[in-house]
Structure 1
């Protein structure tokens, strides 16, 4: 795990304490960079790939509703980017545009190149980039999916927001209603589900046992759809074990 933010902090502290130590002479009389400078270069080389995206500008920043997942505050997360794993990265997930944004240590907002993001973890959710026709069905959209359940019968969520406008007192108000799309992997492909009936129809031989899971744990499907679907699918996998 590359916790480079801590390394950068320590290195910059060392640089400030050793300011003025520009170089030291080697045995041949040539000058070489002072140790803190070389350490700083080594540390920043780790993060160069991470911070090479375009600048991101937060839009509709003064509106009550927002385009981000869950909340508009920066939260530290994990991202696997361009073949490297980075930890403790301040990030936001713009689900309206399906883009991951991180904060540079100088305060800039950097837009990640989505095709280089394998996955990221934010607010205890695991988002993976899945490609249509390769990782998911051809008719599904390439992008980030929240992995709700990662067992044999994998279950994923496509989280989306649309942007709407209304006029209040001659002022334009931006609204961002959210809509989630659930997919369950069964019989070699993903199936879109939304209602309790559509989930149970995927497992006709186990309906009785799967209904019992919701009753025993007192889970109301409409009120807690994500938990209900995860419980049903996990129970299906248990029942399907040889």
Structure 2
């Protein structure tokens, strides 16, 4: 898809009722409906084109795969987002998350470009809050699922594979992968199962196991909801 076709597709999708809800502590919480179209018009003005983050390397959309895509939620177009770049908040910024390459993409005019990763700390995108970590875990963008005394993070990745059909046809596949982590006492713990989860909170293990039973929480059925609920419960009962 060319850059002009991309721009047309983006505008069309906005006109067909794009709605993004992002919860942000500051500056304002953002609810996009009518304001969605403003993202396009603003960034085609001098003010938008001169924003400090509009200076990254040019980006080209990845070719389609037979299954999945390079992009978060398989959306290969920008949506209005809230970002913190170089400690300054910007809202209504068109953003596309290339999960495969762990890059945040935006555009100015008809040109796609990569937002400078080292200057981005927060991105509110499609109802998710991505933060960029540089310490404790491999550097990159992590989906912040819960934040209290403890913290729950999800690392979204895409795994590529080729599937041979009838010894001739190669099918390019991109599958989603998610790794979960809990931050407790300034340390990050990978959560790979129910046992690993309860061990993170071993000082309240008995209470956690009872909580899982009482609320019918099944790690295998819904990993993210279970880990998030347990972390929040632990924060309530821990001294």
For the superposition of Structure 1 and Structure 2, which TM-score range results when normalised by the shorter chain? 0.7 to 0.9
Paired position in structure 2 for 1:206? 204
Deviations 1:110-142 (A, max 9, x none): 11111011110111111111103xxx2xxx311
Distance 1:226 1:198 in 2: 14
SS in 2 for 1:61: coil
Paired position in structure 2 for 1:15? none
Distance 2:39 2:130 in 1: 26
Paired position in structure 2 for 1:158? 155
TM-score of the two chains, using structure 2 as the length reference: 0.75
Paired position in structure 1 for 2:83? 79
- Larger mean Cα displacement after TM superposition, 85-94 or 228-237: 85-94
**Contact 2:67–2:174 (Cα < 8 Å) also in 1:** no
Give 1:7 shift.
9.0
Aligned alpha-carbon RMSD (Å): 2.7
Distance 2:188 2:39 in 1: 42
Q: 1:10 to 1:130 in 2, by over 3 A?
A: closer
Paired position in structure 2 for 1:114? 117
Q: Which runs of no fewer than 5 residues in structure 2 stay unpaired? A: 1-26, 29-34
Q: 1:227 to 1:44 in 2, by over 3 A?
A: closer
Q: Which runs of no fewer than 5 residues in structure 1 stay unpaired? A: 13-39
Distance 1:59 1:53 in 2: 17
**Contact 1:8–1:44 (Cα < 8 Å) also in 2:** no
Q: Does 1:57 align with 2:88?
A: no
Out of 144, 148, 151, the residue aligned to residue 145 of structure 2 is 148
**Contact 1:213–1:231 (Cα < 8 Å) also in 2:** no
Give 1:98 shift.
0.7
Q: 1:79 to 1:223 in 2, by over 3 A?
A: same
Q: 1:66 to 1:202 in 2, by over 3 A?
A: same
Out of 173, 186, 209, the residue aligned to residue 175 of structure 1 is 173
Give 1:197 shift.
0.6
**Contact 1:65–1:174 (Cα < 8 Å) also in 2:** no
Give 1:182 shift.
1.5
Give 1:78 shift.
1.1
Distance 2:42 2:141 in 1: 34
Which one has the largest radius of gyration?
A: 1
- Larger mean Cα displacement after TM superposition, 56-65 or 224-233: 56-65
Give 1:6 shift.
3.8
SS in 1 for 2:231: helix
Paired position in structure 1 for 2:11? none
**Contact 1:120–1:128 (Cα < 8 Å) also in 2:** yes
How many corresponding residue pairs?
205
Distance 1:87 1:8 in 2: 12
Distance 1:192 1:237 in 2: 18
